[in-house]
Amino acid sequence: GDSVTQMEGPVTLSEEAFLTINCTYTATGYPSLFWYVQYPGEGLQLLLKATKADDKGSNKGFEATYRKETTSFHLEKGSVQVSDSAVYFCALSGGGYQKVTFGTGTKLQVIP
């Protein structure tokens, strides 16, 4: 079945550092890929998405490119801020009605 693998956290970075959170997936066909963010005490918010190979999703300085050849969708940001501290989930939607498969989440802590 479908699966998503994310790098283990927590990730601790200094403000203005470069961020990469790795995500790889296994799916049949051509899934859509998503990054969601969860702030403490809140639900998930869509950060960005890509629906086909070589698409780049971007939002709030975050970017991720759909790489079919490596089945990856790594999240990057050039300069993180303290306000980016949250848990980040990689997810895919590939089969079945609205069945989204999530990774385990990566906690990011940004220190001033």
Partner 1 sequence: KAGVTQTPRYLIKTRGQQVTLSCSPISGHRSVSWYQQTPGQGLQFLFEYFSETQRNKGNFPGRFSGRQFSNSRSEMNVSTLELGDSALYLCASSLVSGAQTDTQYFGPGTRLTVL
Interacting residues with partner 1 (CB under 8 A): 31-32, 34, 36, 41-46, 49, 51, 89, 93-105
CB atoms within 10 A of CB 11: 17
Q: How far is CA 30 from CA 44, 70, 100, in A?
A: 24, 13, 13
Q: Which is nearer to partner 1, 85 or 102 (CB)?
A: 102
Q: Which is nearer to partner 1, 10 or 96 (CB)?
A: 96
Q: How far is the CB of 73 from partner 1 (least distance, A)?
A: 14
Distance, in Å, from the CA atom of 93 to the CA atom of 85, rounded to the nearest integer, reads 25
- Is the Cβ of residue 42 or residue 69 nearer to partner 1 in the bound state? 42
